[in-house]
Amino acid sequence: MLFKRRISKKVFRQLASKNVRKSAKDYFIYFFTLTFAVCLFYTFNSIGAQFAAFDIPDTLNYLSAAQGAMAGVSVLVCAIIGFLVVYANRFLMKRRKKEFGIYSILGMERRDISRILMKETVLIGGFSLIAGLVLGVLASQGLTMITSKIAGVGLASYSFIFSPGAMAASVIFFGLIFLFVHIFNVREMKKMKLIDLLYADRKNEEIPEEKKSALLKGILSIMFIIGGYLLIHFLSDRDLFKILGAGSTMIGIGTILLFFSIAGVLIKFLKNRKKFYYKGLNLFVVNQLGSRMKSTGFSVAVVCILMYLSVSIMGIGMGLGQSSMSLIGKTAPYDLSVEYYFDGKGGNDAAVEQSGIKNELEAKNAKLSSYIGESEEINFYVSENLNMQELFGKSAQGNQKMQKLYKTGNVWYVGLDEYNKLRTFQGKDAISLGDDEYAITYNEPEAKAVLVKFEEQGDTTLSIGNSNLNMKEGGIYSATLYNMNVLSDIATIVVPQKVTEGQKPYMRIMDANYEGNASDAYHALLDDMLKVKGFDYSSQKDIQIQIMSDKLMATYIGGYLGITFLVTAGAVLALQQLTQSADNKKRYNLLYKMGAGEKAMKKSLMTQMLFYFGLPFLVAAIHSGFIMAGVYRTIPYLTGADIARNILLASGLAVVLYGIYFITTYSGSKRILKL
């Protein structure tokens, strides 16, 4: 123990803090990235506190589901950040090999060096944790504004939001990351030999062998990428997420191949253009890029992949969110819908059929009864002999999504009188039918085209109940028959009321608006949900919350992952370039000695940086453009302006964050090369 205290703590602390302070510029990207990560982590995990602040009820646990999803994504984000931190740390360790060598030479033990490292990690980690949390608390106020906008609640009940849970989670998660980093550092330290530490910069660089297959790889890569584009474009309405996954993977493989081959192809091309090649420092730049891209092609490809994933995820997330949001009002036009299924399980089929849901609720002493104002009820019948596929399958051909929707289930029908009452309830005109006519009602917008096609193909006579009915000319109407969370009514047949007589209904619905205090009514509903069994209740408010939480989740997860990917991409590229600049010191020194001007050298550095940052950015922009164009075709209910705004927002964020990394890297490299 006496041995351990040999070097005074003070010296250690001083060394560590001096190192951090003196190499603050080296640490800047590390610090910036960590701070940003902590900020992001806290902000997105604080949504629980935001919901609480707005007092949004979470009866059906949608909000906690959103929160849970956020926590799940956070684990993924943490894994990514953890990888990034280790990568960044390796860069810093590499820059400091010699320093550690000198410590060893002066007789410091590895254990003591590890302690210095730990002190530095704690210092940097602590600072970035605190800075990140402060920023996060501020940023979460901003996010609260967005949440309030999405949730459609005013800022009246807004107060300063602070989430102790998110804070604790940030501290624990990042504490773990730092611990992990430290263990990694100690292991690295143990592996290194003193002679390698001291003479790290004298090692000769090994240049990977020239590969002849560059052109072949290039062609293959283009094929993969185009294949991915086509896949997303033509098949994404079949199964969005599966196809998107497959398409992105193909594009990813293509991108990796592209970055492996592009250097070889480009350099061959440029070397043959002597006029360009021998001008200024072009010769140096071209060869420099050539030799570097061979060894770093993979990581640049990864950066590019992260970028297009990021922009696509952000853009698509926002789009999905808006899409679901535009439904509120259309999907749930009534304050409340109460469903009853005549399957014997409800326990009082006869009573409901006879006196209706409203009376039955009263009979059961439901608190809700006293709040029900205007209400209408409607019976649904299922046709035994007609199924959707047979009836509409042919008409749905050509639209993958619709084809799938019409694949299963029997045809449902309702009586005209009850249907008209509902229409009037919604402020729509009543419709009329001849005795042997039927009409079709729907609420899924894309179904209309199928139904119109069905009418056009001519053979529209149906046998329902005991009658044969013909379709009323132009008898296609849109109406939402009861509250649902999505527009899922692709066709319900409306028949003359007498056709339903004597048929056994499958389900009965009561649609109602509240009377009196809506909030009291909602609380009565919550009570009845638990106590008055046999009915399914779907209130507008719950559906709104569900849709809202869907939007929140899609938008926030998109943003969260997107920004994480962006930061990772930027940081990886930045660190890689800084490492290269450190390695290039001798080369630039030599150029200087050979008489190259400072201006020319700056220009050559800028060209290389632009190439390194610009190429993956350009490729990613093209990729995400194609992916988003493909995906937005399949997201319903969005206007062109919405889409344009999403894409601009996502790509704008990408440009800003990426730009920060580019500028930092360029000035950092200039400093390292003393230009």
Partner 1 sequence: MRTVLRVENLEKFYKTKGSITKAVNHINFEVEEGEYIGIMGASGSGKTTLLNCISTIDHVTAGHIYINGADVTEMKEKTLAKFRREELGFIFQDFNLLDTLTGRDNIALALSIVGEKPKVIDRKVNTIASALGVQEIIDKYPYEMSGGQRQRIACARAIVTKPSLILADEPTGALDSKSAGMFLETLGMMNTKMQATILMVTHDAFTASHCKRILFVKDGKIFSELVRGADTRKEFFDRIMQVVSLLGGDKSHAV
Q: Which residues bind partner 1 (CB under 8 A)?
A: 6-8, 10-11, 15, 18-19, 22-23, 98-99, 101-112, 194-195, 198
CB of 594 to partner 1, least distance (A): 20
CB of 208 to partner 1, least distance (A): 18
CB of 127 to partner 1, least distance (A): 18
The smaller minimum CB distance to partner 1, of residues 110 and 523, is found at 110
The smaller minimum CB distance to partner 1, of residues 6 and 345, is found at 6
CB of 668 to partner 1, least distance (A): 17
Question: Any idea of the CA torsion for 443, 445, 451, 456, to the nearest 10 degrees?
Answer: 140
The smaller minimum CB distance to partner 1, of residues 113 and 305, is found at 113
| Cβ-count burial 8-17 (b if 16+ within 10 Å, e if not) | eeeeeeebbe
Beta strands, E only, 325-390: 336-341, 372-387
The smaller minimum CB distance to partner 1, of residues 112 and 511, is found at 112
Region of residue 409 (phi > 0: left; psi between -120 and 50: alpha; otherwise: beta): left
Provide the angle, in degrees to the nearest 10, between the axes of the packed helices 540-593 and 640-672.
30
**With contact defined as beta carbons under 8 Å apart, do 664 and 32 qualify?**
yes
CB of 105 to partner 1, least distance (A): 5
The smaller minimum CB distance to partner 1, of residues 95 and 401, is found at 95
| Angle 286-289-292 from CA coordinates, rounded to 5° | 145
Structure tokens, 311: 């922009």
Structure tokens, 61: 């646990």
CB of 19 to partner 1, least distance (A): 5
CB of 53 to partner 1, least distance (A): 47
Hey, is 651 helix, strand or coil?
A: helix
**With contact defined as beta carbons under 8 Å apart, do 97 and 200 qualify?**
yes
The smaller minimum CB distance to partner 1, of residues 89 and 147, is found at 89
Structure tokens, 584: 């290039």
**With contact defined as beta carbons under 8 Å apart, do 104 and 113 qualify?**
yes
Which one-letter amino acid corresponds to residue 127?
F
* Kind plus residue range of the DSSP H or E element containing 396: none
The smaller minimum CB distance to partner 1, of residues 12 and 341, is found at 12
The smaller minimum CB distance to partner 1, of residues 112 and 237, is found at 112
Polymer length of the chain: 675
CB of 178 to partner 1, least distance (A): 22
CB of 126 to partner 1, least distance (A): 20
- Alpha-carbon gap, residue 260 to 13, rounded angstroms: 45
Long-range contacts of 252-255 (CB under 8 A, 24+ apart): 252/305, 253/221, 253/224, 254/220, 254/221, 254/222, 254/223, 254/224, 254/225, 254/226, 254/227, 254/228, 255/221, 255/225, 255/301, 255/304, 255/305, 255/619, 255/623
The smaller minimum CB distance to partner 1, of residues 113 and 139, is found at 113
The smaller minimum CB distance to partner 1, of residues 164 and 208, is found at 208
The smaller minimum CB distance to partner 1, of residues 65 and 198, is found at 198
Beta strands, E only, 562-646: none
The smaller minimum CB distance to partner 1, of residues 188 and 436, is found at 188
CB of 675 to partner 1, least distance (A): 16
CB of 93 to partner 1, least distance (A): 15
Provide the 8-state DSSP code for 204.
P
The smaller minimum CB distance to partner 1, of residues 279 and 674, is found at 674
CB of 186 to partner 1, least distance (A): 14
Hey, is 192 helix, strand or coil?
A: coil
- Alpha-carbon gap, residue 178 to 173, rounded angstroms: 9
The smaller minimum CB distance to partner 1, of residues 26 and 511, is found at 26
CB of 670 to partner 1, least distance (A): 17
**With contact defined as beta carbons under 8 Å apart, do 469 and 413 qualify?**
no
Q: How many Cα atoms are found within 13 Å in the side-chain-facing hemisphere of 339?
A: 14
Region of residue 22 (phi > 0: left; psi between -120 and 50: alpha; otherwise: beta): alpha
**With contact defined as beta carbons under 8 Å apart, do 509 and 326 qualify?**
no
Beta bridge partners, 536, equal: 339
- Alpha-carbon gap, residue 41 to 174, rounded angstroms: 10
CB of 314 to partner 1, least distance (A): 40
